[in-house]
Chains A and B, each alone.
Chain A
Amino acid sequence: MSGYGKSTNDVPLEGSIPTGTAPLESILCTEELQRRPSRPPDYEKENRALVKLVSALADSPGTIFQTLAETIQDITQCDSAGLSLLTKDGKKPHVEGQRFYWPAICGMWNPHVGGGTPRNFGPCGDVLDQNRTLLFTHFERRYPYLMPVSPTAEECLLVPFYVDGKAVGTIWGIMHSERRKFDAEDDRVMASLGKFASSAYQSWMHIEDLEIQVAKREKAEAEVRDLASGLEAKIRRLVEANVVGIVMWNLEGTITGANEAFLHTVQYDREDLAAGRVRWKDLTPPEWSDRDERAIGQLKATGIFQPFEKEFFRKDGGRVPILLGGALFEGSGNEGVAFVLDLTEQKRQESARVYSEERYRVVVETASDAVVNVDDKGSIVFANPATATIFGYDPAELAGKPLTLLMPEYMRELHQTGFKRYLATGRRHMNWQGTELTALRKNGEEFPVEVSFGEITRDGHKTFTGFLRDISKRKQAEQALRRSEAFLAEAQHLSHTGSFSWRVATGEITWSEQLYRIYELENSVPVTLDLIRTRVHPEDLTLYERMVEEARIGASDFEWQYRLLMPDHSIKYMHALARPTRDQDGQLEYIAAVQDVTARRLAEEARDKARSELTHVARVTTLGTLTASIAHELNQPLSGIVTNASTCLRMLAADPPNVDGARETARRTIRDANRASEMITRLRALFSKKSAVIQSMDLNEAIREVIALSLSELQKNRVILRPELAHDLPLVTGDRVQLQQVILNLLRNASDAMSTIDDRPRDLLIRTEPEDNDRVRLSVSDVGIGFEPQAADKLFEAFYTTKNEGMGIGLSVSRSIVEHHHGRLWATPNNGPGVTFSFSIPCRPEGLTSDGTRAGRIPSVSDAA
């Protein structure tokens, strides 16, 4: 309990009902009023009190509650008196309030003014609940929150009061001691005062209402006054701000008043105005008089004239464009007010705008893109000259035509649907900036265009301006680029060559498709140096690391060969070439080509292995095909031997014996036998499988031997051989037998090439000549069927042949031999019919060792002779 009401006027609104509090009956003693002796009524005193109350109500309604409380105390002679009113917010009376508050108290409880009790837990609430006068004794026994309110109430008499039949409060009197007890007379007086309080309360409420209404009206009036004065101020401000010119005028042509803005516009001053020198009729140039007359006609009819543009003369005689609008004063047939807006700036802006539009028009008309303006019905309003170039339509011819005319048939419906949807919903069915579409020329040709559209809304209607760019050429270029990229990819594929770029700074590596294929990696895998490392052959890793390091530091061309070890343990041979470049930011970037040379390497190895075997095969093959020739060559001397020997025998058998003749024939026999022997020796040297013997040799002599061997073969083929062997030919270092094989081969080929030639002599020229740089050249020219120029390189490929028979192995082996001698072998078509095969070899090739000790093993004609 101690928590409650320390302060005198602080009785809490809410309070719990403590257990063991006294029941309501124990604090009520209303029946005592009838049992106690009652004092006589003092009507005079009562009347005086009521008069006092009424006059208080009339003079100062705000004090009515205080006066009522004093009256109660005065009449009942109690210790404290006051009234409780229901309130919602604790300040203003309200019939639906949940709390009583004490607006006025006199006597001993006066300090508690402003306090109160809860509606449903307190004496006042009990009074309203029972709707009658109640007498309490020590109500704090039931309502402990009243205990701190001192002094305690020995007895308290409470009377309800009503407004419009609704209880809104109580009036009460309290005795703090047993000095006096309330009686029936108190009950009566209090009821009477309660009735008075009801009407007083109603009056007070009414007065309150009135006051509120008055306050409201006064506030509204004040606002109107403020507004009026504000408006006036604004108008005044408008005139004085001199934003527009304001003039007072009359129909006679006089301007009676004007602000500075107007005077400034026409360049007159206030003295001119005061002197009546500023007359609107004089300010108006003659050609504007008619327009003025029309405005005056309108004024007379309607009291105002619509603003119109005209000109005024300035004082200096120049003209100023203005907008003029005005009205007659109400009730005046002659005078009025007008505003004058100086249009100089607007005119200037308009001119700028016209200029800007003109510029725009020039841009549109000279644009190389077609510019087409379309209204919201989809009809073409305007088309620029480029439209003619691009679409083939005259711009004038397009006006009013639907935009769909410029589209292929199959696009029109789609366009119209999209266009309508856009107008209805504002949803675009395509990108308006740079969309690629197909367009239709007047001649029916479809072509790709890039379309950009913009829209302008004017007077509620949308118009659209489209820029259509013919991108056929760009498309073709793109296609060509794609094709060229495809070619490149194909070329890379065919040549087993991939390419890559490597930005050293960022480590960014880009691979071509083919390179992924070579490395057998998925295209999607991002390439890193580490990834590449996983494929490099372990033995080449050191080399790889070194190359990467060097590439990082230096910026020079790189070429290196390395191996890859694939997951299936196969090995790939790679040949890489890299070239450094600088990108736009100056960063080092390598562009590289990587070729898979595995096939070539394997072929080279196989070739080296096969070469020696092949050389022998070639010899044997040559031997085989030359058997007939060899037989012929041997049979010739044998024939001579047999004939001579026969003759010799016959001469010796004659009588007398022809000894001289026999001697002669025997001599010839020996000569022919030697010839045959030489032949056999040469053949054995030529066709035996022998390792190369390098020696210094006379090429002419070697040729003569070959000619001797093949002459009959050539003759059989009716070939006319013309040797032109240089006399001053230097000796060459080489393998005599190998070179002779080459010569033999060339002669045979030449002979074969002429086997079908019958319309001209089958001339075969074999020539030797010294060349510069210590070289010698041998050429063999025929007049045969020749070869196609494009076959020139293929001639030297193994197994390539233009002949129906033969292995065609000769030329490739020949070339190998010549190249082994550091020379070269080539073929050129003659000016006339046939071909010339030539080889050129250095006289002293480096790397070929001259083996003098073995030179003797090569027999020659001179040895045998």
Chain B
Amino acid sequence: MRTFSPYRHKKRNTSVILLALIIISGLMMFNNHLLASQINKESKFSEAVSHYDARNYDEALKAFLSLVDAGIESYEVHYNIGNTYFRLNQIGKAIVYYKRGLRLKPNDYQLQTNLDFAINQTQDRQETAEPNPLLEIIFNTLNSISLNGWFLLSFISFLPVIAMINIMLIYYRKRDKTVPVFLLVLFLLIFIITISATTYRWQRYIDSSTAVLIASASNGYSGPDSTYTRLFTINEGIVLKVVNKNEDWSQVGLPNGMIGWIKTDDFLLVNPPSS
């Protein structure tokens, strides 16, 4: 047996190096960005900020929105647009942009506070359930790491699972497997937790059913036309769940559980982010 030891050492060294290489190359990938129009965007942003400071909200909005049109998806820009809409007294659009910001950075305190403040200004009561303290801690943890961070974490937690299986395939073919199986279960549990968290965050990110009413008021009907029975009237800023989106009329659900058809132009979806 003794004679095999140099071989085992060599194998372990190579696998460690391989693992490190995988992680490093993974990290490197996040940094691939376009520098071409970066400076142009920076100047556009600071121009918008100075417009905002001069209480020139229309100009500020135009400048911020041009950044979004250029394909920038940044929570700071969404947040600033939300604030600008709030100042322009367009609560509905302000809520949409705060929600778009939160979609990218769910744990941002200022975003959340401004969203709550804006929702408080709306006319319709929108119940926010009293949070369970345990769930609160869990969601805070979930939200404190970015979506890409979760992807990376789930990948990193996947590595010991694969490594453990590999070790078992190589060294534990005809031996007592109690210890490796125990470790494998442990690693698998960690992996399941991280992959569930990632899935949750991913679902939140790709969710394209949340919308906000941006018309000052809208009537809900029992069918996709105003000749149907009128079911309710909702006011700007109410958060909706879009069940069925069509060209002219869409079926939406209200926070209180009611479902009806409203005009598609009256609301704005949080995702996809387009003005």
Physical interaction between A and B:
no
B residues lining the A interface (CB < 8 Å): none
A residues lining the B interface (CB < 8 Å): none
